[in-house]
Structure 1
Amino acid sequence: MKKTIVIVDDHVLIAKALEGIIDNFKEFEVIYVAENGKDMIQKFEDHKIPDIILLDISMPIMDGFETVIWLKKHHPEIKVMALSMQSDEKSVIKMIKNGAKGYLLKNTHPKDLEDALTKLNTDGFFYPEWASKIIYSSFNNDDSQKAVKISTREKEFLKYTVTELSYKEIAEIMCCSPRTIESYRDQLCEKLDLKTRVGLAVFAIKNGFAES
């Protein structure tokens, strides 16, 4: 069964062009298009909830920054890929911190888009090299992270932060209680001066724990 996608973009021609491209992909299909975050929310009431959302940033009424926050609160199971013309550090970091699991530019080649969607679906996240450099650089000025000691179990926990597994599911895999997992999370957030799972996931990717 194909993974379902909703495109949220106020540029109708771009959205329709994307829809045509994606509908030729083997594993994905666009089920509808929304013009902004508010339009998307309204369509959620009468339409199927998608697996993935391709989300523009600059939109009237309710932009991408607001929309991804709403999605994180109300539909955390949806994987959000920012698809924008904006490649500045502020926009990338803000979208990732707000809850986006991936970031692509609109001039991306269709084959690269398909590969990115596949990676997003299987791994739970996708950032091209240029975006990864921006994300990683956001940690470079934090000297407190350089001398942090991370236990073997904490490293194992970090590996799972980049997935879509819930903390309860991570606890089952690691053969411990959800409370222990919460303890790992809280200890790492304190050690690394981070506040969210996204921050932990980015740290895990930057330091190679996601691949261990």
Structure 2
Amino acid sequence: MEYSIVVVDDHILIAEALSGIIQKFRQYHVLYEVENGKMLIEKFRHPKNIPDIVLLDINMPHMDGFETAKWLTQYHPAILILALSMQDEEETLIKMVRYGAKGYLLKNVRPPELEKALDAVVQKGYYYPDWITHKLLLNLSSGKEQNMAIQLNERELVFLQYAASELTYKEIGEKMFCSPRTVESYRDGLFEKFGQKTRIGLVIYALKQGIIKL
């Protein structure tokens, strides 16, 4: 089966380079490139322009990747979104996951990893970079929900919900009326309970187990 792809990136040379690389992959072909989310919405007026996968840059003028992912998830939930970014920040990844991205890829990867990411999104439903813990990937790849024997208190649940936002730890502390040190203690306690090592690990694990909802 062949999958259709649209590249959304305001850097025209990068978009064309990505298209050229993807056209060499056996299972994929590029329908077109656009420079931002608004242009994508215009293209979607014609059903023939709706792809299976959207490669989505995050930082774009007029309508950025966050807004575009949110729109795609609302109006075209069947489309697989693979985010493209120069940033390896957990907060950015969390926000894209919240808005419906099924994968996250840094722009400095080599073509084989791009193809690997596309294959993973199509076959497994997700793709996350190497700096996400291996244990998190095992949790994500499990087809069955695990029974939560872990006991969480109210403050930990509140922290988890805020952790799924783009707020910094300092801003979370302000929302919870506590010090940054206390916020870190909630985080560290959840690291131990969930067996995770990163904020995105906590969030995606909690989402998968149904502890929090976006």
TM-score computed with the length of structure 2 as normaliser: 0.65
SS in 2 for 1:121: helix
1:31 to partner: Cα distance:
0.5
Question: 1:118-158 CA distances to partner (integer Å, 9 max, x unpaired)?
Answer: 0110111111221458x89969827479779xxxxxxxxxx
Map 1:27-66 to 2 at 5 A. Answer: 27-46=27-46, 47-66=48-67
What is the root-mean-square deviation of aligned Cα atoms in Å? 2.8
- Paired position in structure 1 for 2:167: none
- Paired position in structure 2 for 1:102: 103
SS in 2 for 1:14: helix
SS in 1 for 2:49: coil
Which of 175, 181, 195 is the matching residue for 2:213? 195
Distance change in 2, residues 1:132/1:9 (3 Å): farther
Question: 1:29-62 CA distances to partner (integer Å, 9 max, x unpaired)?
Answer: 1111111000000011134210000000000000
Q: Structure 1: which 5+ runs fail to align?
A: 149-160, 163-187, 197-212
CA distance in 2, matches of 1:147, 1:60: 41
Counting aligned pairs with the same residue, the percent is 48
- Paired position in structure 1 for 2:187: 141
- Paired position in structure 1 for 2:155: none
CA distance in 2, matches of 1:49, 1:30: 11
Distance change in 2, residues 1:40/1:131 (3 Å): farther
CA distance in 2, matches of 1:144, 1:109: 35
- Paired position in structure 2 for 1:90: 91
Q: How many residues align?
A: 156
- Is the CA contact 1:37–1:62 (under 8 Å) kept in the aligned structure 2? yes
- Paired position in structure 2 for 1:126: 127
SS in 2 for 1:10: coil
